[in-house]
Structure 1
Amino acid sequence: MKPSQFAKGFQARPDTTSSEKRTALDRLNAIDGLVKNGAPTGDVPNRVIQPVLSQDVAELEDADIANESAAYRAWRIEHAYRPGQVIELALKTIKPSPFNPRHFYLKASIAELAVNLAKQGQQQAIHVIPDYDNPGTYFVSDGGRRVRALKEANKESVKAIVIDLPIGIQSYKLGYDLNVQRDSQTVFDNAVVWKRFLDDRHFQSQKELAEHLGLDESTVAVALSIAKLPEVVMHEMVARPDRFGSNMAYQVGRYHTARGADATLRLINKILSDDLSTRQVADIVKGRASAQESTKPAGRQRYAQRLEIKLGGVSVGDLKSYGDDRIELRLKGLTREKRDDILRQIEKMLK
């Protein structure tokens, strides 16, 4: 599909109101919950998995049918599909949407999910949109991480719900709002995708983009300034959303403009190793923006390897190795019981 065709999605339907968008989110969440709790989990290729619909969800589906687009209705009739049904599709027919709100997918996260899917199977269906110009293929609307993990696990099919959305700003907004609900949308995803929207002339200005997204123009401006960073630099921050929000990333971007990529990577390491605040980084930027690079402090040694430590999916610290004979373990936010248990285990290992 050509860029000019992508833009059609922006005008395919009027922008939804807040209440309409909320209803769309509630509908998808309701169907997801229904599938997760009531649908069979066995893999049955090329079959429709029929969920037992509650009255509320059935009413939502009736409303969908009354308001569906002509293209979706034709596809649905051709495939004898009812909104909300979970079907199995070949993974090779699934492709990313040009309006996917996510850009960064961490390899470690995908690998972890792949192991889980290999053991337990797919518990939640993805949402896809038919590519009407290329019959038999589908764009991912929600579930890009699951698709990548299923491929990593060498699966050949995916459970999916086929939804009625144009590929464009409406599908982007819906995916964006779903990701915000899950805390999986990052300022770095926004930076790359919003810059692409402007580069491809889907919007004429950052003001127009902000208006379409319902955001302050300053929020968009900050993200676009971060988009100037090389992806190799952004990758170093994406893995630590607890340390690199929009304000911290903005200061890192300012530093990069003055100092370049290598110095910026060293600054990122310093932020993590010294637990610097945004204010401290801002002071570094102001003090060094026009000065020559200072000599690295004596005794400061960069770690050779760093392992992030999580408990219950939440980052609590890291383990760093230096040279051939030194390691540092730094943990915080533990319960007293967990702390004492870790201390006992370390003591036992060292005896």
Structure 2
Amino acid sequence: MKPTQFAKGFKARPDTTSSEKRTALDRINAIDEIVNQEAGNDKQVTGRSSAYTEDEFHDDPAAQESENFKAWRRKNRYVQGQVIELPLKAIKPSPFNPRHFYLKASIAELAVNLAKQGQQQAIHVIPDHENPGTFFVSDGGRRVRALKEANKETVKAIVIDLPIGIESYKLGYDLNVQRDSQTVFDNAIVWKRFLDEKHFQSQRELADHLGLDESTIAVALAIAKLPENVMHEMVARPDRFGSNMGYQVSRFHTARGADATLRLINKIASDDLSTRQVADIVKGRASAQETPKPAGRQRYAQRLEIKMDGLAVGDLKTYGDDRLELRLRGLSKDKRDEILQQIEKMLQADTVKR
């Protein structure tokens, strides 16, 4: 698969926004609509079935489906939206699953629930047309893991028509965003793999296709350098460890190693350290053993007045060895945006070098 073919139309974003949640809901509703078309039909089959009569089984002229899926559906006499039972051994993870981390405690808890109440919601799977009889998980990876944990042999599933690649990634990602289960650590691992496997030739190309700033990709890739056992500790606390905190932890790890980083993560969680406090620890202004105190009001060391067309529009102040403060006012919108773009380029270049 060529990179341009894979990346075409890739507009998913890692930040949870209202528009993305609407997109996710639209996709969920689209699938629910297919299922609801079969409302009142409680027939379940395993593999090939003759449960439907010739009158019930027909092609929907309005349906848009791939030739591979149409051939599979006809061969297996599958009706769109039908819930069937498949052997768990025939289910495999998608190589384009947006999730990478699954907490063992969460899987174990769900396994107990499934053992008691059974599977209440079907997963969504995609036929592997190159290996007949097997399916990729599109939605429901956590349930599949829990069913295996509960020693179940089958899984209830709805088979959907979707190519393995960008579309399946987008669907899974949208669903995870809607559930608030997608993390920056999942994004970091998956995006790094996209680049390692040459689906994209550079992080700039990846950023363009994701519709993100290159600095966002750079931060995720910096986090991806952390060992997985270190990331696991942060995945378990999404309320404390977002992209900014994860980036600071990755910088600390580069300087101090895994053991010291795990101790820092525990301290962040126990002492409720802010990102700024952790940044002070990374820069050596505070000890990882002592919670840094907020800095008091500090007088600037140097001030430079900034003029444009002979008029004073602001100033540039320096504080200590590493703080810089720029204040501008009275600018036209075009001039403001031009200056902002130049600053962003400088910051992005610095992030990429790191």
User: TM-score if structure 1 supplies the norm length?
Assistant: 0.70
Range with bigger deviation, 12-21 or 242-251: 12-21
Code of the residue aligned with 1:237 in structure 2: it is: M
Structure 2 residue 144 is matched with structure 1 residue 147: yes
Question: 2:204 & 2:85 partners in 1: Cα distance?
Answer: 41
Aligned match of 1:86 in 83, 103, 108? 83
SS of 1:67 mapped into structure 2: coil
Question: 2:45 & 2:76 partners in 1: Cα distance?
Answer: 17
SS of 1:252 mapped into structure 2: helix
Aligned match of 2:30 in 4, 27, 30? 27
Aligned to 2:166: 169
Aligned match of 2:215 in 193, 215, 218? 218
* Matching of residues 198-237 of structure 1 within 5 Å: 198-237=195-234
Cα shift at 1:44: 6.8
Aligned match of 1:99 in 96, 100, 105? 96
Code of the residue aligned with 1:192 in structure 2: it is: I
Cα shift at 1:282: 1.0
Q: 1:172 to 1:285 in 2, by over 3 A?
A: same
Q: Is the 8 A contact 2:98 2:172 kept in 1?
A: yes
Question: 2:40 & 2:79 partners in 1: Cα distance?
Answer: 17
Structure 2 residue 118 is matched with structure 1 residue 121: yes
Question: 1:27 & 1:262 partners in 2: Cα distance?
Answer: 47
Q: Is the 8 A contact 2:7 2:200 kept in 1?
A: no
SS of 2:97 mapped into structure 1: coil
Cα shift at 1:230: 0.6
Question: 2:3 & 2:27 partners in 1: Cα distance?
Answer: 17
Q: Is the 8 A contact 1:15 1:170 kept in 2?
A: no
Q: Is the 8 A contact 1:10 1:168 kept in 2?
A: no
SS of 2:63 mapped into structure 1: helix
Aligned to 1:130: 127
Question: 1:77 & 1:234 partners in 2: Cα distance?
Answer: 45
Aligned to 1:331: none
Range with bigger deviation, 118-127 or 143-152: 118-127
Structure 2 residue 186 is matched with structure 1 residue 183: no
Question: 1:62 & 1:12 partners in 2: Cα distance?
Answer: 29
Aligned to 2:9: 15
Question: 2:34 & 2:40 partners in 1: Cα distance?
Answer: 10
Aligned to 1:320: none
Q: 1:181 to 1:30 in 2, by over 3 A?
A: farther
Question: 2:3 & 2:30 partners in 1: Cα distance?
Answer: 21
Aligned to 2:235: 238
Q: Deviations over 1:116-150 (max 9, x none)?
A: 11111111111111111100000001110000000
Cα shift at 1:13: 10
SS of 2:99 mapped into structure 1: coil
Cα shift at 1:272: 1.1
Question: 2:288 & 2:175 partners in 1: Cα distance?
Answer: 46
Q: When the two structures are aligned, how many residues end up with a matched partner? A: 274
Question: 2:237 & 2:28 partners in 1: Cα distance?
Answer: 28
Q: 1:163 to 1:16 in 2, by over 3 A?
A: farther
Cα shift at 1:169: 1.3
Aligned to 2:157: 160
Cα shift at 1:213: 2.6
Cα shift at 1:205: 1.3
Cα shift at 1:210: 2.3
Cα shift at 1:203: 0.9
Question: RMSD value over aligned CA atoms?
Answer: 3.2
Cα shift at 1:185: 0.5
Cα shift at 1:29: 4.6
Q: Deviations over 1:42-71 (max 9, x none)?
A: 9875587x9xxxxxxxxxx958x6321111
Q: Is the 8 A contact 2:125 2:159 kept in 1?
A: yes
Code of the residue aligned with 1:240 in structure 2: it is: R
Structure 2 residue 191 is matched with structure 1 residue 194: yes
Structure 2 residue 277 is matched with structure 1 residue 283: no
Q: Deviations over 1:2-46 (max 9, x none)?
A: xxxxx36973796388999665443125457x59x9675x98755
Cα shift at 1:208: 1.9
Q: Is the 8 A contact 1:127 1:162 kept in 2?
A: yes
Range with bigger deviation, 183-192 or 204-213: 204-213
Question: 2:202 & 2:125 partners in 1: Cα distance?
Answer: 30
Identity, in percent, stands at: 75
Q: Is the 8 A contact 1:195 1:227 kept in 2?
A: yes
Question: 1:86 & 1:8 partners in 2: Cα distance?
Answer: 34
SS of 1:154 mapped into structure 2: coil
Question: 2:225 & 2:148 partners in 1: Cα distance?
Answer: 31
Give unmatched runs, 5+ long, in structure 2. Answer: 13-18, 52-58, 291-354
Code of the residue aligned with 2:258 in structure 1: it is: A
Q: Deviations over 1:325-350 (max 9, x none)?
A: xxxxxxxxxxxxxxxxxxxxxxxxxx
Q: Deviations over 1:135-175 (max 9, x none)?
A: 00000011100000000011111111111111111111110
Cα shift at 1:87: 0.9
Q: Between the two structures, name the one with larger relative contact order (CA 8 Å, sep ≥ 6).
A: 2
Question: 2:8 & 2:63 partners in 1: Cα distance?
Answer: 17
SS of 1:140 mapped into structure 2: strand
